[in-house]
Structure 1
Amino acid sequence: MTYQIFSHALPNATPGTQRVLKANHFGEAGARPKVYLQAGLHADEWPGFLVLNTLLRMLKKADEAGLIQGEIVIVPVANPIGLAQNFHGYIPGRFAFSDGGGNFNRNWPQLGQKVEKRIKSEITGDIAANVDLVRHAIHEELCLLPETTELQGMKKTLLALSMDADEVLDLHCSGEASMHAYVAQEFEGHFRPLLALLGAKVGLSELETGAASFDETNVSVWRELKAHYAHLVPWGTRSLTVELRGENDISNDFAQQDAQALFDYLVLREVIAGKAPAIDDSELVYYPLDAMDLVKAPCAGIVCYHKAIGDEVEAGEVIGEVVNLTDDNVETSSYPLVARTNGVLFARVQRRLVVCGESIAKIAGREHLAFREMGHLFED
């Protein structure tokens, strides 16, 4: 058996407290391919917790049977800081209360330019050697990252566990949603089997969002180097963000279904020995992220949707309404939510009391929308 659990202590935020990240390791260290999985970076998104817990049980059996061929690292609870933000029974785990605040999945350290300076005089025509060179340089730069605060320590630890992986799978969810994923354009084909196994019909394809999210950060070094050295530096890491439906889509059935899909994908990538699964990706469609309509609340009030998750919609169609509870005339207090593109309604906020101007629904479209700004494709 190769299964090991390593505990990584974060810097003390306050006297007498300390949080820990637990990483589950399968396979021999350094074996390839290496796949890294984590859940709960947004600490109020919980389906991934149960999915990875279920996957761990499957992997332990595979390990006992000697089937682990590569290396697998799983951090089932990636953000103990956010989970501790319990405010009167509610865990607002998307944004940090301390360390300057901000979205836990934004503004991760970007190492591309620093790594390029380290390796530029040593790049050769040996592609395999170049990959090793880059990974060593990434490790050296990671060691230099500050870890004075608890949040800095968490980011540094998670990147140290993931940035040498061949694939990085970051598990999230939306408020209410169908299964979908955010995938870099370069990896559409590579991750198509994974999305098919998960039953996703919507993939959001992007080149670079400008968010410096966790999954983007894991490939940003390689994207930077490929701009300089093209084919001499291959994709050493591929990553994506998987959205496991909605916040309340948590059950043993869903967890078993999704964990089996992830397990089958690990077999497909030959990380685990076994018969490769059959793939039917006929229902999966990739939509450009800059074609995604973020439907905004025209006023504050109670939202009522006329369309269900997964429904096709047309530009100009009313997909719901927001009722302004303070309008003087109750006969005219309902304001329509109008789609601005043809596509699929795939996600919306779970709560029904909404704030004026906030994005409350997402429609995956096929044509670029002029009001969507490249480099700022995520609003939070």
Structure 2
Amino acid sequence: MSYQIYSHILPSATPGTQRILKAHHFGEAGARPKMYFQAGLHADEWPGFLVLNALLRKLKKADEAGLIQGEIIIVPVSNPIGLGQNFHGYIPGRFSFSDGGGNFNRNWPQLGAKVHKRIKEEVTGNPETNVALVRKAIHEELMLLPEHTELLGMKKNLLALSMGADEVIDLHCSGEANMHAYVAQEFEGHFKPLLALLGAKVGLSELETGAASFDETNVSVWRELKSHYAHLIPWGSRSLTVELRGENDISNDFAQQDAQALFDYLILRGVVAGDMPEIDDSQVAYYPLDAMDLVKAPCAGIVCYHKAIGKEVEAGEVIGEVVNLMDDEVETSSYPLVARTNGVFFARVQRRLVVCGESIAKIAGREHLAFREIGHLFED
């Protein structure tokens, strides 16, 4: 048996408080392939908690049977800071209350230029040797990251756990949504089997969002180095963000279904021994992130949707309306939500009281939209 649990203590933010990250390790340290999973980086997105709990149960049985061939690290609760932000029974866990108040999944440390500086005199003609060289340099740079606040300590620990993995899978969810994922353009083919296993029909394909999110940060070093050395430095890490449907899509059935999909994926990648899963990826489609229409509320009020999630829409089609409760003329107080692209209506906010100008629905389109700016594709 190889199963171990390690607790990583974060810097104490205030006297008498202490938060920890628990990392579950399977397989021999250094074994390949190495996989990393985490859930709840946005601490108000909870489906992944139950999914990884179910996956841990499956992996413990696999470990007892001697089936773990690679290395697996799972952090089922990756943001104890956000979970502690309990405000009268509501946990607003997307943004930090302290350390500048930013989005927990934005502006992670970018190490590409620093790693390049470390290795540029040592790159060889052997790609395998170069991968080991880069991983060593990444580790050295990670150790230099500051950790004098609770949030910085959490980021440093999560990156130290994940950046040596061959694949990083970050579990999130949307307000109300179909299963979907955000995937780097370079990895569309690689992760298509995973999306198929999860039943995700929509993949949002991105190059650089400008967000410096957790999943992007794990591959940003390799992207930076490949721009200099091409094939001499292969991809040492691939990552994606999986959106596990909506906030309230939490059940034992969903958790078992999704955990089995992740377990089957580990078999597919040779991390766990077992019968190869049958995969039909014919329903998986990728849509450019810069073609995604963010439908905005035309006024403040109550939103009513006319179109169900998962349905195809056409540009100019009305998918819902917002009722302005302050209009004098109630007969004309409804304002339409109009799709600006052809595509799939796949996500929307859970709240029905919306703020004027906020993005409340997402449509995966196929053609670039002029008002979507490359490098600034996430609003929050």
Kindly report structure 1 stretches of 4+ aligned residues shifted beyond 4 Å: none
User: C-alpha distance in 2, partners of 1:107/1:42?
Assistant: 14
The equivalent residue for 1:245 is 245
* Alignment pair present for 1:303 and 2:303: yes
State the distance in 1 between where 2:4 and 2:206 align: 36
Report the aligned-residue RMSD. 0.3
> In the aligned structure 2, how far is the partner of 1:57 from the partner of 1:275?
18
Amino acid paired to 2:140: E
Aligned-residue offset at 1:25: 0.1
Unaligned runs of 5+ in 2: none
- For residues 100 and 321 of structure 1, the distance between their equivalents in structure 2, rounded to whole angstroms, comes to 35
Q: How many Å separate the matches in 2 of 1:351 and 1:252?
A: 24
Q: Quick one: which amino acid aligns to residue 373 of structure 1? A: E
Instruction: Give the TM-score of the pair, scaled to structure 1.
Output: 1.00
The alignment of Structure 1 onto Structure 2 pairs a total of residues equal to: 380
* Distance in 2 (alpha carbons) for counterparts of 1:59 and 1:343: 38
1:61 maps to amino acid:
K
In the other structure, the counterpart of 2:32 is: 32
1:200-229 deviations in whole A, cap 9, x for unaligned? Answer: 000000111000000000000000000000
Q: Deviations over 1:158-199 (max 9, x none)?
A: 000000000000000000000000000000000000000000
* Deviation of the 1:126 alpha carbon: 1.1
Matches for 1:318-329 after TM superposition, within 5 Å: 318-329=318-329
Give the secondary structure class of the aligned counterpart of 2:270.
coil
SS at match of 1:22: strand
State the alpha-carbon separation in 1 of the partners of residues 59 and 43 from structure 2: 24
- CA–CA distance in structure 2, aligned partners of residues 271 and 190 of structure 1: 15
Offset of 1:275 from its aligned partner? 1.4
How far apart are the structure 2 equivalents of 1:287 and 1:89? 37
Q: Distance in 2 between matches of 1:238 and 1:369?
A: 27
Secondary structure at the aligned position of 1:52 is classed as: helix
Q: In the aligned structure 2, how far is the partner of 1:209 from the partner of 1:100?
A: 21
Aligned position for 1:123: 123
Task: Give the match's secondary structure for 1:128.
Answer: helix
Counting only pairs closer than 5 Å after superposition, residues 1-380 of structure 1 correspond to structure 2 as: 1-380=1-380
Q: In structure 2, what residue type is equivalent to 1:231?
A: H
CA distance in 2, matches of 1:126, 1:230: 12
**Structure 1 gap segments, 5+ residues each:** none
Deviation at 1:370, TM superposition (A): 0.2
Counterpart-to-counterpart distance in 2, 1:155 and 1:221: 16
TM-score by length of 2: 1.00
- Structure 1 distance, partners of 2:74, 2:318, is 43
Aligned mates of 1:120, 1:101 — CA distance in 2: 36
Give the CA deviation at 1:67: 0.1
Describe the superposition over 1:113-152 as per-residue Cα deviations: whole angstroms up to 9, x where unpaired.
0000000000001111100000000000000000000000
Distance apart, 1:276 and its partner CA: 1.1
1:319-350 alpha-carbon deviations (Å, 9 max, x no partner): 00000000011011000000000000000000
- Deviation digits for residues 69-114 of structure 1 (CA, Å, limit 9, x no counterpart): 0000000000000000000000000000001111000000000000
